[in-house]
Amino acid sequence: MSTVKKDHPSGKDTRKAIEQQFETLLSNWKEQLGEKKFRNRVKKAAKVFSKGLPLVKKEAPVNKKAAKKNAAGKKAADKKAATGKKAAAAKPAQEQ
């Protein structure tokens, strides 16, 4: 189950809110363009307008088995990197 902060609306919710605001502000153009063209243009405008807004992305559900494998792999990689650093640090000290 993913957890999303409720104080920030998702991208879709933001776009829908912008669409509603555009529809109310530009309602007089609805008669001139027609319902279908007007709705498509409002959707496109809302999408472009909302692109610059910061979005809160949903967190992907965590697979426990994959998380354990990744954690074990990271620990092993960290140990190898640490031993490599110790060996590299010891070589210049021995050469002097």
Q: 67-93 burial, b for 16+ CB within 10 Å, e for fewer? A: eeeeeeeeeeeeeeeeeeeeeeeeeee
Q: What is the dihedral of CA 22, 27, 29, 33, to 10 degrees?
A: 90
Helices (H), the chain: 11-25, 27-33, 35-50, 64-95
Mean pLDDT of 10-18: 86
Query: Is the pLDDT confidence value at 57 over 50?
Result: yes
Structure confidence at residue 23 (pLDDT): 92
Query: Is the pLDDT confidence value at 77 over 80?
Result: no
Mean pLDDT of 53-57: 65
Structure confidence at residue 1 (pLDDT): 46
